[in-house]
Structure 1
Amino acid sequence: MGSSVKAVVSRLSVALLGAAALSVATVPAVADDVAALYQDKCASCHGADRFGLMGPALLPQNLKRLRKNKAAKVIANGRAATQMPAFAEQLNEAQIQSLVDYVYTPLDEVPEWGMEQMLASRIVNHEPGTLSDEPVFEADLMNLFLVVEIGDHHVTLLNGDTFEPIHRFKTRFALHGGPKYSPDGRYVYITSRDGWISKFDIYNLKVVAEIRAGINSRNLAVSSDGRYAMVANYLPHNLVVLDTETMKPLKVIETIGKNDEGVEISSRVSAVYNAPPRESFIAALKDIKEVWEISYADEPSEDFAGWIHDYKNEKAANKPHEDFPTRKIPTRVFLDDFFFNQQYDLLFGASRDGEALVMSMDARREYTQLELSGMPHLGSGITWDYQGRPVMATPNIKKGLVSIVDMESFETIKMIETEGPGFFMRSHENSPYAWVDVFFGPNKDKVHIIDKSTLEIVKTLKPSPGKTAAHVEFTKDGKYALLSIWDMDGELIIYDAKTFEEIKRLPMVKPSGKYNVWNKTRYSSGTSH
């Protein structure tokens, strides 16, 4: 690592660790006052360094979902369903605002969070092999759902046949990136925005282990053999490989490259994906124009291994997979939203500037551009066969359009007008329909249903007027579709996926995503990967 990068990832300066360490000679009195106030009122729960303890990390990257005016209300009034107390009787309005400004101020340096810190954070509730291999409940284990309730930081395990809750458990603060299952569906790995990775044993309904793999994490991916999980981090700038059995870190991969001026920099990681046919993880970098592919195969191909270094000379004699060799694929633009074809040899990437392109993973170069003008949400893209040809469909975040792209010619064959920009799109191999929400704007309470054979909207639902309706997921057989009402007084609505008849409503606390074991472990073309 270059000296400049080492400086970037060094420990926080003492000036950021508390009022006692602040220099009066160089820091204004107001900074002393707010730092001391933070240490007195906040540090015991959120950490002297703002990294988080019992409470979440208080860093700008971790607070993006919370606007400053709402943060002030949380400090004043506390937060329901959490241990956050109210400070309105202890602090005046100016003090509360100073704390808000303080926690939304970025740190001067990227903090260190390496092997030592991760291992120290590790919590083991049940050692591997100590819990029963038989489920403590009766259900089709492949037709279970995990429903994330972001309103009070819980997850509900739902029976996908009876639509009855089996179990509800508390999670870490602000889950992000969607739960990921082990290949057999027994374990699920859940990521919090604060970097905590929780391993939950579905059979025994217990959290078996946790580790904090970062300070601000985006998501994780689980290898197809179930042995490894890779965590994508915003802070610090790296990827972390975990042993899924022990939940111990195996390797930290620092995401370092060069910018357009040739200067070495470190990059945030937007997301990481598992590519089953390739036996690799694929990472999207936020600040470097590259896509990284990291192999977890026991014997990576000569082509792959030779891309960065002489793998044969560097691999451990009996554990070659622990090297996790990496190859870097250059791109013209920053890509932070990905979609893959079912073979995982083509990567569809989108930038925040509106560009969309197709990358050949094998040739390691750009193949062509896509004509998508509405800022596609490719991470929610799905595929199906249309008139004998595979197509990709994606909602758009800036325009009320669903884009349909021919995956052989890469032409946009249709733009389906919707009543507003959407965020999530879902279907199922056994369903003739695709469902897309209208997540942004005044029509957020609507959901469109598209006929996959005609590419026309055939039904628009408005299940709870005035409340956001979003994120559909199908049952294992595709017969039913589950829809979330994103509200503190929310619901999970089950529909007959063929007739669109409402079957049942379950009250939930702002349910967001729901994840079917079968669809996710089988990488259904109707769901995001």
Structure 2
Amino acid sequence: MNRFFLIVFLLITSTFASAECLVRGTGDLAVIIERATGSVQVVDTTQKKSLFHIAGLGDLSHASVVYSRDARYAYIFGRDGGLSKIDILCGTLVKRIVQGGNSIGGAISQDGKLIAVSNYEPGGVKVFSAYDLSLVVDVQSTVVDGSKRSKTVGLVDAPGHRFVFSLYDTGEIWVLDLSNGQLDLQKYPNIGKQPYDGLITPEGRYYIAGLFGEDGLAKLDLWHTEKGVARIMDHYGKGEQKLPVFKMPHLEGWAMAGNTAFLPAVGHHEVLAVDSLSWQEKARVKVHGQPVFVMARPDGRQIWVNFAFPNNDTVQVIDTETLQIVKTFTLGKGVLHMEFSPRGEEVWISVRDKDQVVVIDTDTLVQTAELPVT
């Protein structure tokens, strides 16, 4: 059975314990999401071996993960509305709730006390206690078509104990501030048609929403929210040619290296290099296919790119100084996710159709390990 793997690194150290909790500090564990079986593997990234297998997590077809402040617990957001809290040092499911009908991601607050979940169905954002997953606040989105509420997308956590997200059906950005123990909601309407995803820049200042219904991006300065939303990069999107788009690229797949943002061109076989201060395009790099994730090595020296079907067997590496492709890997069909180790010496890549995760040394560009995923 073909599987979808999402590899997420966590700062945890480990040795194997089959039935007991690991009694040690954190440093080098990773979590691998297994879609087909609704399960999670906890792996030791130093020894390249599996430590725990945690099942019963529901539909993980579009799963995402955030971690507790002490890096002991992982919170798994499932497509079926499930929110699961797992203990990574014990390899156990602490608690699972089904809080909605169709979820699309989540975030954890700056202080680690709150977990927010973004919902397609019934719409809106729900916020839970990170301790026991009890409901703290239910933020209902704008009503469309009489009773249905807008899908929410692009949920991120922001400095100041805030959450920021977009409303797909009504073209809005909302900022949810819970810093004083009370709900303060800022709403920005008319940002553009059908915002489908969002990102926050590494320093936490700008929230950017991608638009599916028109070209361009919407930018909100979180230092000066009173200035409202500005439009940037009006050329960014499907363009006049309306080329077939096999998969809309994820905005969280953007890469930031110095003052340059690298982002996938929609429907084109290109990666765009953009000045992150002026948001003006600087260059374009021709690549193997339609990019999905464009990811920077932690030191910003390399950009790693994977691609939409039918070119989803390939990964390419771009040198950020020369903007040249320095390596092309053919790893097998279904290369879906990549994740760097915390200091960037390795990249872990999921290969769905081979039921494995491959590990590549980012300095030598040589594959060093393969891990089977069941």
Instruction: Report the TM-score when normalising by structure 2.
Output: 0.85
Out of 318, 330, 335, the position equivalent to 1:469 is 335
Match of 1:229 in 2: 115
Specify whether residues 231 and 164 from structure 1 end up closer, same or farther in structure 2 by C-alpha distance, changes over 3 A only: same
Secondary structure at the aligned position of 1:424 is classed as strand
Distance 2:121 2:285 in 1: 38
Residues 331-381 of structure 1, C-alpha deviation per residue, up to 9 Å, x if partnerless?
133312112222333222211134222423322221533432456532211
Query: What is residue 151 of structure 2 aligned with on the other side?
Result: 268
Q: Tell me the equivalent position of 1:400.
A: 269
C-alpha displacement of 1:431? 5.5
RMSD of aligned residue pairs (Cα, Å): 2.3
Greater CA radius of gyration, 1 or 2? Answer: 1
Deviation at 1:183, TM superposition (A): 2.0
The structure with the largest strand share of the pair is: 2
What secondary structure does 2:127 align onto?
strand
- If the length of structure 1 is used for normalisation, what is the TM-score? 0.61
Give the conservation status (yes or no) of the 8 Å contact 1:372–1:412.
Answer: no
1:264 deviates by: 8.8
In the TM superposition, what is the alpha-carbon distance from 1:258 to its structure 2 partner?
A: 7.2
1:253 aligned onto 2:139: yes
1:460 aligns with 2:333: no
Map residues 18-29 of structure 1 onto 2, 5 A cutoff. none
Distance 2:25 2:256 in 1: 26
Equivalence for 1:342:
202
Q: Relative to structure 1, is the Cα distance of residues 399 and 80 closer, same or farther in structure 2, using a 3 angstrom cutoff?
A: closer
For 2:54, the equivalent position in structure 1 comes to 169
Q: Give the letter for the 1:409 counterpart.
A: S
Q: What secondary structure, in the 3-state scheme, does the structure 1 residue paired with 2:278 have?
A: coil
SS in structure 2 opposite 1:158?
strand
Q: Match for 2:358: what amino acid? A: I
Give % identity.
24
Residue 298 of structure 2: SS of its match in structure 1? Answer: coil
Matches within 5 A, 1:75-474: 136-137=21-22, 141-175=26-60, 176-256=62-142, 266-275=149-158, 277-298=159-180, 321=181, 323-330=182-189, 331-361=191-221, 362=225, 363-374=227-238, 376-385=249-258, 390-430=259-299, 432-441=301-310, 443-464=311-332, 467-474=333-340
Q: Is the 8 A contact 1:145 1:159 kept in 2?
A: yes
The one-letter amino acid of 2:337's match is: H
Post-superposition shift, 1:486? 1.2
CA drift at 1:159: 1.3
Secondary structure at 2:195's aligned position in 1?
Answer: coil
CA contact (8 A) 1:143 1:161 kept: yes
Partner of 1:493: 358
Residues 498 and 140 (structure 1), Cα distance of their counterparts in 2 relative to 1, 3 Å cut: farther
Q: Aligned in 2, Cα 1:192/1:377: closer, same or farther, shift over 3 Å?
A: closer
Q: Which residue of 1 aligns with 2:6?
A: none
Give the distance between the partners of 1:397 and 1:453, measured in 2 at CA: 23
Residue 425 of structure 1: how far off its partner (Å): 2.3
Match of residue 304 from structure 1? none
Contact 1:481 1:494 in 2 (8 A): yes
Give 3-state SS (helix, strand or coil) of 1:332's partner: coil
- Native 8 Å contact 1:450 1:456 kept in 2: yes
| TM-aligned CA distance change 1:239 to 1:296, over 3 Å | same
Specify the alignment match of 1:92 in structure 2: none
Unaligned stretches of 5+ in structure 2?
Answer: 4-19, 239-247
Deviation at 1:450, TM superposition (A): 0.6
1: distance between equivalents of 2:265 and 2:143? 30
Distance 1:477 1:379, change over 3 A: closer
Identify the structure with the greater helix proportion. 1
> 1:459, CA displacement in angstroms?
0.7
- In structure 2, relative to structure 1, the CA distance for the partners of 1:295 and 1:142 (3 Å cut) is farther
Equivalent-residue separation in structure 2 for 1:279 and 1:350 (angstroms): 23
The answer to whether the 8 Å contact 2:249/2:293 transfers is: no
Q: Is the 8 A contact 1:370 1:410 kept in 2?
A: no
Other structure's SS at 1:379 match: helix
Kept after mapping to 1: 8 A contact 2:217/2:236: no
User: Aligned partners of 1:474 and 1:80: how far apart in 2?
Assistant: 23
| Partner secondary structure for residue 252 of structure 2 | helix
Is contact 2:110–2:160 with CA below 8 Å preserved after alignment?
Answer: no
- For 1:507, give the aligned amino acid: P
Q: Deviations over 1:7-48 (max 9, x none)?
A: xxxxxxxxxxxxxxxxxxxxxxxxxxxxxxxxxxxxxxxxxx
Q: Compute the displacement of 1:257 (Å).
A: 5.4
* 1:396–1:423 contact (8 Å) kept in structure 2: no
Question: What is the identity, as a one-letter code, of the residue corresponding to 1:448?
Answer: Q
Cα deviation for residue 195 of structure 1 reads 0.7
Structure 2 equivalent of residue 44 of structure 1: none
